[in-house]
Structure 1
Amino acid sequence: MVTPVILSGGSGTRLWPLSREKQPKQLLALSGPRTMLQETALRLGGFADDQDGCDPTIVVCNAEHRFMAAEQLRSSGVAGARIVLEPVGRNTAPALTLAALAACAGGGDPILLVMPADHVVTDRDAFQLSVTAGLPAARAGAVVTFGIVPSRPETGYGYIRTGGRRDDGALKLVAFVEKPSADRASEYVASGQYLWNSGLFMMRASVWLKALAALNPRMAQACSTSFERAEQDADFLRVDADAFAACPSDSIDYAVMEKLAAHSDLCIDGVVVPMSAGWSDVGAWDALWDVMEKDAAGNASHGDTVLEGCENSLLYGGARLIAGVGLNNVVVVETPDAVLVVDKSRTQDVKKIVTRLKTEGRALADSHRKIYRPWGWYDSIDFGERFQVKRIVVTPGAKLSLQMHHHRAEHWIVVKGTAEVTNGEKVFLMSENESTYIPLGHVHRLANPGKVPLEIIEVQSGTYLGEDDIVRFEDTYGRAQDEGEKT
């Protein structure tokens, strides 16, 4: 059987301000109604060949993203997914190792199809055909990488140099090549020997573990120790944080793939299967422009936009109107708390803005104004000295933690649905247009006992309004006190 493995640990800094550290690009719906994680999880839908169907998906993600990832998988109909949590980011090789250990935990040795969660593939049928083409090599013990047939000389991607064709139909892997200059990229494409490096891989779980143990034993040991000490936390598997923090950080390419050819004693071949499936890593705003529909002047737009005399530009809006006049090769991105304007040829430099924001300690680098929680979400719609106003939406059947605050009082007004309120020793229901006051120091809880989303307006007042002013007494979702969040 084939086990889909989704690596969902990236931060997507070059797609700021839409992508933030606490809600990165893979958890966003950038090019359609589904998020990139959802699209990735559905990419093997209906896949089967003469021997292999699909086992449940394994997702490796940041612990902070666990509830969003689980809800997105559930809402897209992906059943039985196993979610392994990384306490810290250590790049793709350790993440794949955790997935391989999880895949072998039941005594099997499935073929792993490794997919980054933040890529776009527009032709699912072609994608599945390429997977089928790589299966004979993977079954025989090779590590398969999928090379994208280049459509242009691209300097933003790494390349794979290929050799002759093997008996199983795959190409021999000769070398991985770093991002080239424009002239060198043109030479690569003209030669017909080079493919773009997709970051997609396929191999048996035992083959990956064997290769890593030989080529990077320190990483293999750290991952093994962290997995052996793992604990089940509700629907998630938490590996040991201390052991995983000691793991070296490296990519699949550097940790294993580039070293295979020099270690013939391992008897593990690296092979390449060409793929032409409308692939993009959507690494920056210009890459998103590439995959979006465009008007006759080459403009792509999202949200409420009006363009006059613009060419080859991207206007990506949210709640507010974006009007563009006379723009050429420009990207404009609007969110409730930030606006980005950048020359389309300089989108790789957006990460420099994120670095500056982090250096200055600004929260805009990490989180949006709208914050998702396992029970729903909240949006900080206004604030000032000693007050803050939030719009809170609670999904049907969900409830926040039982809690109290030392430094603030709260007023709750129901605008939609029915609320079950715990306020001190009283528990009561509130309907639309009803309100309650939560004094400072009162134990309280908000729950939605109904079948429609509950929406309230919360007005906080006090000397300190930070999200870490919370004493949590009980929590349905198993979150610790030190997670410091509005819950």
Structure 2
Amino acid sequence: MKIRPVILCGGAGTRLWPKKSKHQAKQFIDFGGWTLINKTFDRIKSNVFDYPIISTNSKYIKDVKKALKKSRISKYKIVLEPAKKNTAPAILASALIKEIPNNQPLMYFTADHLIEKPNKLVSAINKNKSNLDDKNVFIFGIKPTNPSSEYGYFLSKNIKNINKVTRFIEKPKQAKAKEVIKQKGYWNSGMFFLRKDSIINNFKKYQPNIFRNCSKAVTKAKYKNNVYYLNKQAFSKATAKSFDYAILEKTKNINAIKLDIPWSDLGSWKEICKMYGKNKNKYFKKKNVFYRPWGSYVNLFNGKEFLIKELYVKPKGILSLQKHHHRAEHWVVTHGMPKITLNKNKFVKKPGETIYIPLGAIHRIENPYKKPVKIIEAQIGSILKETDIVRYQDVYGRVKN
């Protein structure tokens, strides 16, 4: 039996746009000729997978269909949620649709993850298929590259060639994350692999309310043009919970598949800046390089309400003390040690460190050292033009009196 991929595609991506009521969900953002959802669809084209099921809501159905068309996926099913209830009801409802047999292996992907070396992931999924039973759950761990406080972690113990999960650590502070990594902790990627009967058994045992209401929502669903419209009245009564809290924290039968592959959920501008920094050769165009008295900058990608640049500040180069009316900025230092002014504070940053410049904050970059400084900058706002600079001081005489 082939593995059925289920793609969870209901996330709003609010972490990237905290102050905007209208914004593009992360999985549909064009990052330069590609989106995260299309990368996810490309991942499931391996012959180990059956056709996909996509769990989403009416707000995103047009975007999902557009992405399916772009990825040339003609056979699929969409399960449409009538209310936002987090991942537990989404995972259960998508498993309960009638064409999925009871012993069907289900692989739950998130639509907004960036995974490099996807063949390693697919191979690990296929290899562990025979270990699934009617109660266990496999989660996917990613070997950490840094002590990030943006991700959850887990610890595990190897018993008879299977990694049994012994503990979860939810988004620890950096010092704690360092300890967890020393104990060989892995990032919890939010991808799950289990059989339909395991989902049913776990929800019946630990979340009877969710099971009862999701079952009704599926039984009473309307089906038209490959879309299951879940019954609103029943689905709305299901408790809103994440799969982690609803099932993973209750069951003791959790195993881990550990992966050492480049992975990110691009959930912050820091991660997005790092991604562009790593792949800047793909985005670099000579015509987008602009020279300034303090060095130069290159526009790497101009997206919808965001602009990614790389700044090059030559030794002894000083940008003007300035502010912006229409944009905030996120910086990731990649080379050198810039001296930063942010309102009344001054500090030095090292490679890998980040700075957030809120809208209207007075700021400056200086490079007092002999090595050049390089910074990947994400500008976020409605107007992203060089005209949106108010200068207060400038060593190159660019302040207008």
Q: TM-score, normalised by structure 2?
A: 0.71
Distance 1:324 1:211, change over 3 A: closer
Cα shift at 1:87? 1.3
Q: Distance in 2 between the 1:94 and 1:171 partners? A: 27
Distance 1:305 1:227, change over 3 A: farther
Distance 1:295 1:129, change over 3 A: closer
Q: Distance in 2 between the 1:302 and 1:239 partners? A: 47
Amino acid at match of 1:171: N
Whether 1:180 aligns to 2:175 is no
Whether 1:218 aligns to 2:206 is no
Counterpart position of 1:82: 77
Q: Deviations 1:48-97 (Å, cap 9, x if unpaired)?
A: xxxxx321100001112112201211221123110111112111111111
Contact 1:145 1:273 in 2 (8 A): yes
What secondary structure, in the 3-state scheme, does the structure 1 residue paired with 2:164 have? strand
Q: Distance in 2 between the 1:349 and 1:118 partners? A: 26
Distance 1:295 1:150, change over 3 A: closer
Cα shift at 1:293? 4.1
Counterpart position of 1:288: 272
Counterpart position of 1:235: 226
Counterpart position of 1:8: 9
Distance 1:250 1:106, change over 3 A: closer
Counterpart position of 1:317: 302
Q: Distance in 1 between the 2:163 and 2:28 partners? A: 34
Cα shift at 1:4? 0.2
Structure 2: which 5+ residue stretches go unaligned? Answer: 315-325, 333-353, 360-381, 383-401
Q: Distance in 2 between the 1:305 and 1:175 partners? A: 49
Whether 1:25 aligns to 2:26 is yes
What secondary structure, in the 3-state scheme, does the structure 2 residue paired with 1:277 have? coil
Cα shift at 1:273? 0.9
Counterpart position of 1:341: 329
Contact 2:298 2:309 in 1 (8 A): no
Contact 2:55 2:81 in 1 (8 A): yes
Counterpart mapping for 1:49-68 below 5 A? 53-68=48-63
Amino acid at match of 1:154: S
Q: Distance in 2 between the 1:302 and 1:259 partners? A: 52
Counterpart position of 1:447: none
Counterpart mapping for 1:466-477 below 5 A? none
Q: Distance in 1 between the 2:74 and 2:19 partners? A: 28
Distance 1:314 1:154, change over 3 A: farther
What secondary structure, in the 3-state scheme, does the structure 2 residue paired with 1:292 have? helix
Counterpart position of 1:433: none
Distance 1:307 1:160, change over 3 A: farther
What secondary structure, in the 3-state scheme, does the structure 1 residue paired with 2:55 have? strand
Q: Considering only aligned residues, what root-mean-square deviation do their CA atoms show, in Å? A: 3.6
Counterpart mapping for 1:142-161 below 5 A? 142-161=136-155
Contact 2:107 2:192 in 1 (8 A): yes
Give the length in aligned residue pairs: 325
Contact 2:133 2:198 in 1 (8 A): no
Cα shift at 1:207? 0.4
Distance 1:45 1:319, change over 3 A: closer
Counterpart position of 1:244: 235
Whether 1:73 aligns to 2:68 is yes
Greater RCO (CA < 8 Å, at least 6 residues apart): 2
Contact 2:153 2:186 in 1 (8 A): yes
Q: Distance in 1 between the 2:83 and 2:148 partners? A: 32
What secondary structure, in the 3-state scheme, does the structure 1 residue paired with 2:204 have? helix
Contact 2:298 2:310 in 1 (8 A): no
Q: Distance in 1 between the 2:180 and 2:283 partners? A: 30
What secondary structure, in the 3-state scheme, does the structure 2 residue paired with 1:218 have? helix
Q: Distance in 2 between the 1:349 and 1:256 partners? A: 39
Whether 1:128 aligns to 2:122 is yes
Structure 1: which 5+ residue stretches go unaligned? Answer: 48-52, 262-268, 329-337, 351-367, 369-487
Amino acid at match of 1:233: K
Contact 2:102 2:195 in 1 (8 A): no
